[in-house]
Every structure is written in structure tokens, then in C-alpha cells.
Chain A
């Protein structure tokens, strides 16, 4: 299903192409944060209420629970916005990689760049490689879509940036 979705993006395109590869996250980090605040207020409120009546031993358990919840949400939230943006423009391929807080931009000369497939980590992995630099891409995709991505990129690179591809 998703593969078809990606395929459609590659056909009949203009010279410039922008491809955003991201994780599927149905809630934004700020949404997650709001959920956490809501739960924390309720849980701590209950614990504090009982503490007023002398039963203070509920608060520590509420605290531990919220720590676990916070850790879980952090793990999810940190990488919720991870993505790779691959852009073809003016003879260059530009890859923007966002990994939690960091954003790195890599540029390759389109004429020198090549797509390399390799095995590792229990599946196919894809690299973009120029003379001296290489960058792994498609890390957020599952194996099938990653293979599809590799095929597409290869077709684009070998067809060169100025030529329309006919298949």
C-alpha cells in the first residue's frame, strides 16, 4: 500500500523533487506533552488529596508512575519528528536529516553520487555515496519500502537530472 504511495511520487515529476521520509506518528510531541500534564495533574491531585487526610504513601507511587510515564513519552516524543528530506535540485541532491534535536544537512553532487545497497542490522540498508562521503538513508522505512526507495533513487541518478525517464 505504502509502496504504491511512494511510487506515485516518482513518476511524471518535474526536475525538482522533494521527498520526505518520516515516521508515522499520530500525535505530535506537544500533544504528548499535554496528555502527560493532564495525567500528572490528576494523579498528583489524587495523591495530594489523600496526603491531606494522612495517607501520604500514595504520593510516592504516583510519582514513580509518572516517572515511568514520562520516560516512555520521552522515548516516543524525542524521535517523533525524526525525518529525512531528500531534494533534487540544480544538479545536486540535498539530504536533510533530523534526529531528535539535531538537524544535519548533507549535499551530494548528482553526477558523482551513487546508491549503494548493503546488508546489515538484519536487513537491506541503503546508502548514498559520493567520492569521500556516505550517508545512510531510509532508516524510517521498513525493508520493502527501503528497497523501493533504492530502486527509485538509482533510476533517477542514472537517468541524470536533465533527462525525462521513460519506462
Chain B
């Protein structure tokens, strides 16, 4: 006769470090606390980057220079990009990962609780350094978020601060990834096999792998920029035997996977939300896992489709074009699977589902413009125009941001024990949807007609669409204040949430943990039947 007793064997009593107030948050090693920190940080950054976008759109409301000078305009576009990508979207999904992964796999916490705390607390420092660069002589770098050499060499000290900030962000991402990989691999409850995990965990596992592969490349790229600026190296300087195009190869080797680093967790959230509101299991779970892996691998082989105009040999252009088109296949599989999940379900359209459907519709649109951009000759017309701006905002805003909204409305009851106001949530969705398309749909027209991106002033023929786009932008910005109000209202005075507010939600975070989730969950691992 023998018996096996499992336990995670961890001490939980000092999660908050025994402090109250602000020190609790600074010293916390509890995955739920840290998830909350990530999400609030991300929202603050979202508002900061958003405010910059408002100034950009105000300047572009009509031709001529009205509010900002061209130099400052470039600084704004650069910081808007960096802050939104590294400050808003990525931390939001890391926040979801912190909250949800342990609860979804039956673990008491993340594998390295102390490191988890460090990963988060690097972020506010990095963000402060980014913002501080505005106040340096010469201002923030005005080189675009892609930080192309050799323009970076002309920038002031703000560029160096930005590079250090990127290093901090990279360290945070790497530690976060190590934590997520170890947690998912080692801390699953007995019976929770990899192929039984909620898809959200799968997408994060793959994302964390991608981060580990991509982050050193970015760190190297910005470091070489730094040494070219100050230590006389010539990695990217033709006069010293280097090559400015090498920078682009390095950057996009990181940058393209980065797109999927953002998109995959978004796919994960959608794959939780759609089945829940379709009251039907996710269609093609296994093929979803394979498609996600295929996208991840392919994403490392397509980087140069951002560089069709640098003058590659024709074989290079063709290779990258075919590889890029190939990504359409696994992405298509995902979209088809989501639609098939809804097909013959029993659908209801609460706010999370609305955002998920909005995601599906608009992300696919962004995917199709991606296919158009993959075609070398067409891309040569559209590269560095507003068409590209429209395309990646369909992927980043309608893709990542909408799915983040879906995730927040979906899990808010679990986290806070309170329901958000459904009517206001629906308003938030419809206003976001309308204003989003108002901003970015017309930007396809601008790009086709020939408006380059990153210009503070433009020829007269582009005025109409720019006006519409700017009005949409102001509307979108204001709508997000409504979102803040909805969340605060839910936390303060929302109705008490039932154990399982969404009847189709069947992952163990809903079925095995009380709502709201207590501070400590799964201290002894559940057995998954």
C-alpha cells in the first residue's frame, strides 16, 4: 500500500512582506498583486501614449504646422510607439499571465515569486527614463520606434536614456518569460497535462519562448547603437565599414516576432472568451496549438518583409514574400476555428464577447492588409505610408487592445468579485469600434493615395481623411476614460459577482476557485480529472 502526497512545498505566509499600504505593493510576491500592478501600470502607460497620439492627431487635423514643431512631432511619434508597445500592450498581457496562469494550471503562485516582483518593478523605472528623455537637451529621440541607424547617431542624450530604458524593459521581459516557462512546465497540477491546459496558457508558453529568442537580439541592437554613438564603433556606419541596413535586419529579426509576442497572448484571451459565450468547447484545440507554434516559428523567418525597399536581391525578396504569405495559413486556421466555435453554439453578447467579435472582425481585416503588404510590388508602393500605419493599428489596437479589453471584462468578476455595468460596457465597445474605424479605416485611403507616415504636415489632397481620422482619434481617446470609469465603478460599487458569471466558462479558475479569487489559491494542487 502506498500513497503519494503532493504539494508545492512553498511558504506563503510572507507574500505581502507583512507590510500594509504602499509597502505591501512594493514588496509583494503574490502573483495576483503583481498581476494587478502590471495591469494598472499598463493602463497608465496607455493613457500616456494615448495623450501623445492626441497631440499627433491634433497637429495632423489640418495642413500646416499648428501646435508642435517637426522635431517634437518626431519625438512624439517615437515615444507613442515605444510606450504603447513596451509600456501598454506587453505589460497588459503579462498582467493577465500573472493573474490567470497559476489559477488556470492549479499552481499556488508563479515559480519565482521574488523574481516576479523584480520583473514588475523594473518597469516604472524604465518608463520614467523614457519620459525623462523629453527633458534632456535635444529632447527625446525623434527617430521612430524602430530606432533606425544612422539617424540615431544624430540624437541627443535622450537617445541614451531610451536605450537604457529598453535594456530595463528587456530584463523585465526575460525574467518574466523565465518565470512563465518554469511555472507552466513545472507547476501544473497533477492531471493538468500540457494538452489539457487552457489555450491562454499555451499561447503564453510559446510567447515566452519567443521572448527568450528575440530579446537578446534587441538588446544587442540598441547596445550597438550606443557604442556607435559614443565609443567609435562602426556597426552601422558605412564610413567605418559597417552597414546601416544591418541594423534593420537585426531590429526586424526582433521586431517581427515582437508583433506575435503581442498577438499570441491576445489569441489566447480570445480563445477563452469565445467558447465561454458560445457555450461550446473551443473548436480544434490541438490545431490551435499547432497553428500557434507554426506562427511562432514562421515569425522568425519573415523579418525582411519590413525592408522590401532597402534593395535586397530578388531571391531575398521572393523568399521573404513566400514565407510571409505562408503565415496566412496558420492564422487562417485560427480564425476558422474561432468561427467554427461560434457556429451552432448558444451565443450571448456580453461585453467580453462583443470585444472578441470586434477583435475577430477587425484583426482579420488587418490580416488581409498584411497579405496585401506581403506582396513585394504592392508593398513597394505602400511601404512607409499610412497604409502601413492603418495595417498595424488594426493588428495592435483592434487585435491586441480589443482582446485586452475582452480579457478585462471577462476576468474582472473573478478578480474583484464584482460585476461591471453591462450597459456602460456595451457603450464602451460600440464607441471604441466606431471611433477606431473612423481613425484607421480612412488611413488605408491616405496610404494608397501616397501620404508618407511620420510627417507633421501634408499636402492639401490628404486633408479630408486626416480630419476624419483626427476626429475619430479624439473620440477614441475620450471613450477610454469611460473604460476607466467602468472599471472603477465595478470595483467600488459593482454588483456582487456570482461564482460563475459566464455559464460557458469551464476552466478550473472558474470551476474550482471561489469568486472573487482569494489571496491564496491552490496551495495544494487540485487533481484534474
Contact = CB atoms under 8 A, between A and B. Distances in A.
Contacts of B10: 142
Nearest to B3: A9
B297 to A, nearest CB: 10
Given A13-B1, A27-B186, A50-B217, A55 B250 contact: yes
A-B complex: 9 closest residue pairs judged by Cβ atoms: A9-B3, A58-B220, A2-B524, A61-B216, A140-B9, A26-B188, A18-B2, A24-B6, A62-B216
A: interface residue count bin: 35 or more
A54 B247 CA distance: 11
B3 A19 contact: yes
A21 B8 CA distance: 11
A35 B181 contact: yes
B154 interface: no
Given A1-B526, A18-B2, A57-B220, 6 more contacts: A2-B6, A24-B9, A54-B243, A55-B250, A72-B112, A140-B9
Nearest to A31: B185
Interface in B210-225: 212-213, 215-217, 219-221, 223-224
Contacts of A144: 523-524
A54 B7 CA distance: 50
A46 B111 CA distance: 27
A141 B115 CA distance: 23
Contacts of A139: 9
B8 A142 contact: yes
Contacts of A76: 111, 182, 186
24 contacts: A2-B527, A8-B3, A9-B1, A9-B5, A16-B1, A19-B3, A21-B7, A22-B5, A22-B6, A24-B7, A26-B189, A27-B186, A43-B212, A47-B216, A50-B250, A57-B220, A65-B216, A72-B112, A72-B182, A75-B112, A123-B11, A139-B9, A140-B9, A142-B523
Interface string A35-65: 1000100110011001001110111111011
A14 B224 contact: no
Contacts of B186: 25-27, 32, 76, 80
B235 interface: yes
B: interface residue count bin: 35 or more
A134 interface: no
A105 interface: no
B217 A46 contact: yes
A106 interface: no
Contacts of A112: none
Nearest to A21: B5
Contacts of B8: 23-24, 142
Nearest to B224: A57
B190 interface: yes
A125 to B, nearest CB: 12
A20 B181 CA distance: 27
Contacts of A82: 9
A73 interface: yes
Contacts of B1: 9, 13-14, 16-18
B524 A53 contact: no
Nearest to A2: B524
B253 interface: yes
Contacts of A1: 524, 526-527
